[in-house]
């Protein structure tokens, strides 16, 4: 097969970009595979950068690319491919406008946060999110095949678009890279360490994570909360810093900023518990399980697809930061339980989220879709 992936960015460590990269490099062994993008951080010939004005500006990528004529060169480059896989807006716009391409068009839909969560964003951010939601629905309705990365998203697609989709785990793990057996350069934070990795954004509820950590801190005075990720919303980040100062936790809540992809395993290996208070996830990534670390999250969004409550971690009622803290405390004070849940998480992830397995499932799905045309 000739397989094309198109995404507006290919940034190391970004969720969808990582999925595309891990699939493409494995599919390349048996198929003719290319990735097309406007912004590229991968130094590999499999990734092709389409030149557009101000291509390094992510605002242009996200909003203005669909009206830049030169960006439509993508359609010419992939017209002879058997299949093209696209994900979010704006990349998912191009195979369908002005008309559907003859190439088999597979759209992967990751869902979106409830509209009520947009109230925490400014006007421009809300406007973009609404535009993206509209265009994602546009692409889904015109797709030849529609993929959902978990059970939650499959139901979300039915509820929001009225469409059937094919469920397939996609946001997997490279177990050669995230391997608990490796010797990592683990940062030493001096006490029990709670880790969060992700964007610094309002829907991630990092303010609730800090509230929860304050309770943990009373039980384990030397504990640390380590927050790894990009400051996507500067105003929200400034709010968090004020909260931390008011609670006198400046030495205990550590913002690392965005760390190089090569250093991420060090942080996962160094933590005792992985925790996220996010109010919505299209899929809760499970690199922590690859390191045999238990996870704690709110019981919302797709989190049930990853965390099996009481088996490989804890799910807590959405917004209940007190119970959230109690779950973390339980995992810190009981090393046997911590180890057991970490092992269970590893077993589940190895079975379902190994990118080698996902690649086989993805390839089989494409072959079946092509044979049905």
User: Mean pLDDT in the chain?
Assistant: 93
Of 4-13, 112-121, 223-232, the one with minimum mean pLDDT is 112-121
The phi and psi torsions of 316 (rounded to 5 degrees) equal: -120, 145
> Are 216 and 243 contained in the same domain?
yes
pLDDT at site 229: 94
Distance set, CA 200 to CA 13, 110, 219, 243 (Å): 15, 19, 26, 14
116 falls in which pLDDT band (50, 70, 90)? low
Model confidence pLDDT, tens digit, residues 143-193: 999 999 999 999 999 999 999 999 999 999 999 999 999 999 999 999 999
Kindly state the percentage of the chain with pLDDT values over 90: 78
Whole-number Å distance between alpha carbons of 38 and 34: 14
Residue scoring higher pLDDT (127 or 95): 95
pLDDT at site 277: 97
> Are 213 and 108 contained in the same domain?
no
186 domain residue, yes or no? no
> Are 318 and 222 contained in the same domain?
yes
- Does position 297 have pLDDT exceeding 90, yes or no? yes
Kindly state the percentage of the chain with pLDDT values over 70: 95
181 domain residue, yes or no? no
Rounded to the nearest 10 degrees, the angle between the axes of helix 15-27 and helix 355-371 is 70
The mean pLDDT of 37-42, rounded to a whole number, is: 91
> Are 275 and 291 contained in the same domain?
yes
CA atoms within 13 A on the CB side of 144: 22
Q: CB-based contacts of 48: which residues, under 8 Å, 6+ apart?
A: 34, 35, 36, 37, 77
128 falls in which pLDDT band (50, 70, 90)? confident
Whole-number Å distance between alpha carbons of 12 and 354: 19
- Give the dihedral of Cα atoms 129, 132, 134, 135; nearest 10 deg: 170
* Element of type H or E holding 297: strand 295-298
332 domain residue, yes or no? yes
12 falls in which pLDDT band (50, 70, 90)? confident
> Are 150 and 257 contained in the same domain?
no
Structural domain including 78 reads 2-172+354-371
246 domain residue, yes or no? yes
pLDDT at site 370: 92
183 domain residue, yes or no? no
pLDDT at site 112: 84
> Are 233 and 212 contained in the same domain?
yes
Q: How many domains does the chain have?
A: 2
The mean pLDDT of 265-292, rounded to a whole number, is: 96
The mean pLDDT of 80-94, rounded to a whole number, is: 95
> Are 200 and 330 contained in the same domain?
yes
- Does position 136 have pLDDT exceeding 80, yes or no? yes
231 domain residue, yes or no? yes
> Are 230 and 286 contained in the same domain?
yes
Q: CB-based contacts of 118: which residues, under 8 Å, 6+ apart?
A: 125, 126, 129, 130
- Does position 30 have pLDDT exceeding 70, yes or no? yes
187 domain residue, yes or no? no
CB atoms within 10 A of CB 70: 12
> Are 331 and 366 contained in the same domain?
no
The mean pLDDT of 335-362, rounded to a whole number, is: 98
> Are 27 and 126 contained in the same domain?
yes
pLDDT at site 117: 64
pLDDT at site 57: 61
> Are 345 and 225 contained in the same domain?
yes
Domain containing residue 164: CATH number: 3.40.50.2000
| Residue 261 · residue 12 · CB < 8 Å | yes
> Are 141 and 260 contained in the same domain?
no
* Centroid of chain to Cα 327: 24
């Amino acid at each position: 097969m000739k397989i094309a992936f198109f995404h507006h960015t290919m940034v190391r460590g970004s969720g969808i970009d990582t999925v595309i990269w891990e699939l493409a490099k494995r599919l390349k062994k048996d198929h003719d595979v290319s990735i097309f993008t406007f912004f590229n951080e991968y130094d590999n010939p499999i990734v092709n950068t389409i030149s557009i004005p101000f291509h390094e500006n992510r605002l242009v990528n996200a909003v203005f690319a669909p009206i830049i004529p030169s960006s439509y060169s993508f359609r010419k480059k992939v017209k002879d491919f058997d299949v093209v896989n696209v994900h979010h807006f704006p990349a998912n716009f191009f195979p369908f406008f002005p008309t559907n391409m003859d190439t088999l068009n597979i759209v992967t839909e990751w869902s979106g946060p409830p509209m009520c969560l947009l109230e925490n964003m400014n006007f421009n951010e809300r406007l973009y999110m609404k535009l993206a939601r509209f265009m994602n629905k546009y692409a889904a309705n015109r797709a030849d095949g529609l993929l959902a990365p978990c059970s939650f998203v499959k139901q979300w697609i039915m509820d929001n678009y009225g469409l059937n989709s094919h469920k397939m785990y996609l946001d997997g793990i490279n177990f050669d890279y995230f391997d608990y057996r490796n010797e990592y350069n683990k940062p030493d934070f001096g006490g029990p360490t709670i880790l969060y990795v992700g964007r610094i954004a309002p829907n991630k509820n990092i303010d609730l994570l800090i509230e929860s950590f304050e309770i943990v801190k009373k039980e384990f005075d030397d504990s640390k909360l380590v927050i790894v990720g990009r400051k996507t919303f500067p105003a929200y980040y400034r709010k968090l810093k004020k909260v931390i100062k008011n609670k006198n936790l400046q030495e205990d809540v550590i913002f690392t900023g965005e760390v190089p992809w090569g250093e991420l395993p060090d942080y996962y290996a160094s933590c005792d518990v992985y925790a996220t208070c996010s109010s919505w996830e299209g899929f809760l990534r499970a690199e922590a399980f690859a390191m045999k670390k238990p996870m704690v999250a709110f019981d919302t969004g797709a989190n049930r697809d990853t965390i099996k409550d009481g088996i490989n971690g804890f799910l807590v009622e959405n917004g209940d930061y007190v119970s959230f803290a109690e779950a973390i405390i339980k995992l810190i004070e009981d090393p046997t339980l911590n180890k057991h849940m970490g092992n269970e998480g590893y077993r589940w992830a190895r079975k379902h989220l190994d990118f080698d397995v996902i690649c086989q499932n993805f390839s089989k799905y494409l072959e079946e879709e092509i044979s049905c045309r």
